[in-house]
Amino acid sequence: MSPDGPAKLDYSNFRNYLLPIPPDGVDAGENNDLVLLFDDEKQAIDYANQISRLPGSQRKAGNELVAAIGKDSFVRAYAEAC
């Protein structure tokens, strides 16, 4: 995910938001982009559901993560098949 959103979320500042860490962690992509690591699409959807309920200051960053997961073509295909 690119840090272009309102929260400017990237690998370096992910922990500053005190967000739950995905089951398989996070990694840095090109240009310090944030890469969320999951075993499969179901795990990504479960994580998105978890962070969609974050309170207060975490909400903006959480919403960006939910949107990024929802835009993933593999996640969308999995959700449509279920």
Residues, the chain: 82
The H-or-E segment that residue 35 falls in is: strand 34-36
Give pLDDT tens digits for 9-43: 999 999 999 999 999 999 999 999 999 999 999 99
Across the chain, mean pLDDT equals 94
* Close Cβ partners of 9 (under 8 Å, ≥ 6 residues apart): 1, 3, 17, 34, 61, 64, 65
CB 4 within 8 A of CB 35: no
